[in-house]
Amino acid sequence: MSGDLQRTDQVAESGETLIEVENLKKYYGGGGVFANPSVKAVDGVSFSIKRGETLGLVGESGCGKSTLGRTLVRLEEATEGTISFDGTDITTLSGEDLKDWRRNAQMVFQDPESSLNDRMTVGEIIREPLDAHDWKTKTERQERVLDLLTSVGLREEHYYRYPHQFSGGQRQRVGIARALALEPEFLVLDEPVSALDVSVQAKIITLLEDLQEEFDLTYLFIAHDLAVVRHICDRVAVMYLGKIMEISDTEAVYENAQNPYTQSLLSAIPRPDPSTSSHRITLPGTPPSPRDPPTGCQFSTRCPAKIRPEGYDHVGEETWDAIERFREVVRERSRMSLGTVDRLKRQLGTFSAYDDIDETVADLFGDLEVPADVREEIDAAAELVKDGRPADARDHLGEAFNGVCDLQRPDFHPVGEHEHMSYCHRHDAEYEDVEPVISRRTSDS
């Protein structure tokens, strides 16, 4: 861990920004009268990466990590926003300018199995980008490939072998050598070790760290594995449904998370020191579809610290929790056509047992004390569902129970030293802080 701290200090000392991302969006599809709504894979993110640092990007599957990484290296066109690389907005580059810039930013993919062309030798694979960019002479390219093979811990004689003759770890070394061929400054490492055995993972991580030092590289490190991220990254960004929820120095995020989503993610990791306080937070339901994200905070449908609207102080925590779950059921019903009911029931897991809405209501509220005003709204919504109008039921519940988290996008608030930022309404002075709310709600359950 001391090595990590040292590295953070070095980066902080240099402090020069290499990449500055402003309000970046990447939407897929949409457009046209009959098209489905677009998939909002990345939905307005802003952050920067300093030269020489490793920024980790974590979050559940489908939250937009790969799309963000691919957009940063222009494998995807941004829908909106800017990516300034060393002061130049690269979202508008085209032709020769784009080709020239591409040398600077490369990507290493998760699956070394499928990302390497099995009909080419390892040497050809690594040489390909050099050929494509007409890099120096043929002999110099050959020499460059031999140097790269050594740099990534392979041997010169591997030049004439084929990827299928290699182990997963060796193939990933080839992928890394190829990414380094044109001497880039920036690498997006998209789950570079997730497909490898644990013992091999450590070797590849060490290699990436050594290469970073040797070639002065800047990394965006995308990962599911929070332990790996903690080890290798100087700073971490936490993503949910296309949005960055929190970003700061790695230790600040792991030891002093401010955002309810980050706290939920981290609460799932067993802590080495059981004496430190932590609450296990179990998130209800599944993330909403990026085609139909919530109007307010992206995390509002599952947030353990969600702000209640005024006028409901008389409702107990458990009853309020049941209201939120009921809203989730109705929301899901409003999204599906009748033909997809069965598929949805299977997907919804805990909600799958509820064949009709009365049973759902009985199951969620049966044992609870439900004030009359709440009961009235729930019953009215249940009637609308029975009438085959789940969208009206959803709107009815919205009018009754929507609060600021449902209705408004939060700001990205500074929440501590080292440019620690978090996306949550609770950082507004008028609301109670995240921590006491979560500890109260999780100790009640």
Contacts with ligand ATP by CB under 6 A lie at: 28-29, 39, 41, 59, 61-67, 290
Nearer to ligand ATP, 29 or 366 (CB): 29
Query: Rounded CA gap, 244 and 63, in Å?
Result: 10
Query: Rounded CA gap, 444 and 266, in Å?
Result: 20
Nearer to ligand ATP, 108 or 130 (CB): 108
Q: With contact defined as beta carbons under 8 Å apart, do 222 and 239 qualify?
A: no
CB of 396 to ligand ATP, least distance (A): 29
The vertex-320 CA angle with 315 and 321, nearest 5°, equals: 155
Nearer to ligand ATP, 166 or 261 (CB): 261
3-state secondary structure of 421: strand
CB of 286 to ligand ATP, least distance (A): 12
CB of 136 to ligand ATP, least distance (A): 35
Residue 158's nearest CA partner among 168, 169, 145 is: 145
3-state secondary structure of 326: helix
Q: With contact defined as beta carbons under 8 Å apart, do 171 and 114 qualify?
A: no
Amino acid, res. 348: L
Nearer to ligand ATP, 225 or 318 (CB): 225
Paired tokens of 4: 């990590």
Nearer to ligand ATP, 39 or 370 (CB): 39
Q: How does 319-336 read in b/e, with b if 16+ C-beta sit within 10 Å?
A: bbbbbbbbbbbbbbbbbe
Paired tokens of 127: 């040489």
CB of 79 to ligand ATP, least distance (A): 12
CB of 39 to ligand ATP, least distance (A): 4
The vertex-113 CA angle with 141 and 126, nearest 5°, equals: 5
CB of 109 to ligand ATP, least distance (A): 11
Paired tokens of 130: 């050099």
Nearer to ligand ATP, 39 or 315 (CB): 39
- HSE, side-chain direction, 13 A CA sphere, residue 197: 7
CB of 196 to ligand ATP, least distance (A): 16
Nearer to ligand ATP, 61 or 277 (CB): 61
